[in-house]
Amino acid sequence: MLAAALTTIFFSISVLCGARSAQVVGPQAANLGRITLATLLLGIWAHGYGAGLSGPSLSWFFLSGVIGFGLGDMALFGALPRIGPRLAILLTQCLAAPIAAFAEWIWLGTTLRVVDLSCAAVILVGVAVAMAPDGGLPIERRVFWIGVLFGVGSALGQALGAVVSRKANDLASAAQFEIDGGTAAYQRALGGLILTWLAAAAFSLRGPAADRPVVNWRLGFPLIAANALAGPTIGVGCYQWALKTTPSGLVLPIVATSPLITMLLAWWFQGIRPTRRVALGSALAVAGAVALARAQAGK
């Protein structure tokens, strides 16, 4: 469970840096810069100290990246401008865990105990209480439901990408091939990188140059670098480490608390104080995470 906790912390830092870099250079440039730099850094690790592009699970990790890094992240960016970051993250994080648990049960036959499911449910309820937007959203109905569909698609991408990663780790274990989290993250990032660049190239052919934001790389690059290190590099490395040893239905509820950690960091660095409802939801989610960790340690 340590790997899942580290993933949560690094993902939270990544969200803050990613949101700021998107404001400075635009969301598409920020996303492309983030995944490109992360793939380069992970490649240095994988080819210098890890397994590089070898192993029986390469194609599965690549597919996981296409689904999670590629389709999942693009769906998230489709949800953000339509329903806002809080509701988009709520849908992604809270739906990903049960979707992953169900998919892993159907496909891989992984069973979860009642106590594990109960703790996971407590975490998700806490996240929902803390992250649920206030009523009266000034959003057109059609735009709202399109955004919700994108949010569900983002949750599907994260969940199914995690389950495919579990399948990849199972294949590597069956072949007695040792693969570290950094190498797994690199093989996964390649799939997302290729799909993201292809999508960016396709969209650039459709939009006029006048509509593209002015890119301030001098200010944006340090933010993109911090985002790449905290998220796709170290964060995803810890994420793959967690999925290697723990079912995704247990990993994802822990990672689902990352928006709450992000709120605390925003309070610390930006002075944005959370409301009482956020504090209550955070306490509930943390209590569920502690209970889940204790239950796992007692197996």
Domain count, the chain: 1
- The whole-angstrom separation of Cα 226 and Cα 230 is 6
Give per-residue pLDDT as tens, 129-164.
Answer: 877 765 555 678 888 889 889 989 999 998 899 889
pLDDT at 297: 60
- The whole-angstrom separation of Cα 77 and Cα 73 is 6
Give per-residue pLDDT as tens, 193-205.
Answer: 999 999 888 877 7
At residue 28, does pLDDT exceed 50? yes
Averaged confidence pLDDT in the chain: 83
Provide mean pLDDT across the span 179-203.
89
- Hunting for tokens 């509820």 — which residue is that? 253
Domain residue limits at 19: 2-297
CB 151 within 8 A of CB 91: yes
- The whole-angstrom separation of Cα 213 and Cα 202 is 17
pTM of the model: 0.79
pLDDT at 226: 92
CB 298 within 8 A of CB 3: no
Phi, psi of 216 (to 5 degrees): -100, 85
If one compares 178 and 249, the residue with the highest pLDDT of the two is: 178
If one compares 248 and 67, the residue with the highest pLDDT of the two is: 67
Percent of the chain exceeding pLDDT 70 equals: 91
pLDDT at 69: 85
Lowest mean pLDDT, pick from 64-73, 99-108, 206-215: 206-215
